[in-house]
Amino acid sequence: MDTTAPLPLRKQRDYRLLWSARTISITGSEVSKLAVPLTAITLLTASPAEMGLLTAAAPLPALLFGLQSGAISDRLARHRPLMIACELVSCVAAATVPLAWLFGVLTVPWLVIMALVIGTAGVMFKSANFPYIAAVVGPSQRTEAMAGFQASYSVASVSGPGLAGILVQTLTAPFAVLAEALSFLASALLLRSIRTPEHNEPTRSSSMWHDIVEGLRTSLTNPTLRAVLGAGVTINFFAMAYIAVHMLYMVNTLGIPKGLIGFLTALSGLGGLLGAWLTSRLAKRYGENRILLVAVLFFPLDILAVGLVTGPLWVKLTVLGLTGVLTGVIVVAFSTCMGVITLRDTPTALRGRVNATMTFAVQGVLALGGLTGGLLAEFVGLRPVILISAAGIALSTLWIWLSPLRPNAPHKQRHHTPPPPAQSSLPHALTHLIESKRHSLI
């Protein structure tokens, strides 16, 4: 048995390439998160209902293709070629936005279609990327690796809004989307440079339906996976209802200047960097169970602050800045723990399908949340939707605290789904677990 300690992740070439690819790609997406809605609001005069449709478009493919993507992924001997292809398709889709604006044919439906294409490619990418992480990173380093990938979102949250603000001011919002297209291209080139061989044994099955049902059954019968899945669905539904209206509310009701919205998002990203650093260290001492139990309690805080804050601009910015930093810490801690438990408790042959089931439910519900938030705001107003979203997210606490993750039953889940042999060398701190948030949410 080889007891040699592995190289630190920062010295592993292929992990650095994979991390860099994700960071660059996500940074481009962060630019688009600001540029696309601003294009719709300021140039295409989108209504709240149209904003709800646009918000729902990106996660809708998770509902349409999420389960099938996992079955396809588990049938592949190599996952990296599919990941590269998905990034290239997304690059082309994003590049159509500035071209359409240049020729005077850009519309809200065009933006919706672009979001659907990129969302579909993203679903396929995630289904392949999840098992691919196991090929690049050994079991003993996966908590640190997952924290590193979550830090990518935080780096993107810090740099993306500022870059978006500069690009929107200098190039106009539609041309700022070009940064997303270039980031997808850069990601594809970096992924192509990875040398780690894959030794995946393709799953053989009689039918697509059989594969899908097997992934669903594993996700729903394991009590820990079921709890984090339920919490993730609850969080993401209400979080997306909030996201559908929050920019309109921040600009039109709170009077936050557009440039400062990017600043607040960057503060949340800084909190995420702190969260990534803390999570990898606290997990070794306290275990992921305890991190998750504490993290879920703070999820509604930032949304509640947006809905209730009043006063002069400096008071609003101070409150929202502080809660944004804390939320960044919480989201990264929660999401990191989700990835580790799913990798650990899922048999190797089912990783693609279980992850796809999570994507289908947790990401797919975003479309329903976005539509609900946008349409509900037409009838009850923006502030009530925000407060309802905060209350709804608080319900996720019940899923976690009434599950085997609670303090008096930290090991029960092991009796239902034993860890696969490939995960047996995980340290004891990694045997307790976690799930996902998205601002993505998760």
State percent of the chain over pLDDT 70.
Answer: 87
Place of tokens 């009043």: 310
Contacts of 30 (CB under 8 A, 6+ apart): 156, 157, 159, 160, 161, 163, 164, 265
Give 422's pLDDT tier (boundaries 50, 70, 90).
very low
Estimate to the nearest angstrom the gap between the alpha carbon of 300 and the chain centroid. 17
**Mean pLDDT, residues 292-304 taken together:** 87
Place of tokens 């393709």: 202
DSSP labels, 165-202: HHHHHHH-HHHHTHHHHHHHHHHHHHHHT--PPP----
Say if residues 235 and 438 touch (Cβ distance below 8 Å). Answer: yes
Residue 18's alpha-carbon distances to 9, 83, 353, in angstroms, are 11, 11, 22
pLDDT in tens, 121-157: 988 888 888 778 877 887 767 777 777 777 777 677 6
**Highest mean pLDDT pick, 47-51, 88-92, 218-222:** 88-92
Query: Taken in order 373, 376, 378, 384, is the CA torsion positive or negative?
Result: negative
pLDDT in tens, 326-359: 888 888 888 888 777 777 777 777 777 777 787 7
pLDDT in tens, 173-232: 888 888 889 999 999 999 999 988 877 777 776 677 777 887 788 888 888 888 888 888
DSSP labels, 382-419: HHHHHHHHHHHHHTHHHHHHTSTTSTT-TTGGGGTSPP
Give residue 386's identity as a one-letter amino acid code. Answer: I
What number of other Cβ atoms are within 10 A of residue 223's Cβ?
16
Confidence check: pLDDT of 96 > 90 = yes
At residue 287, the pLDDT reads 77
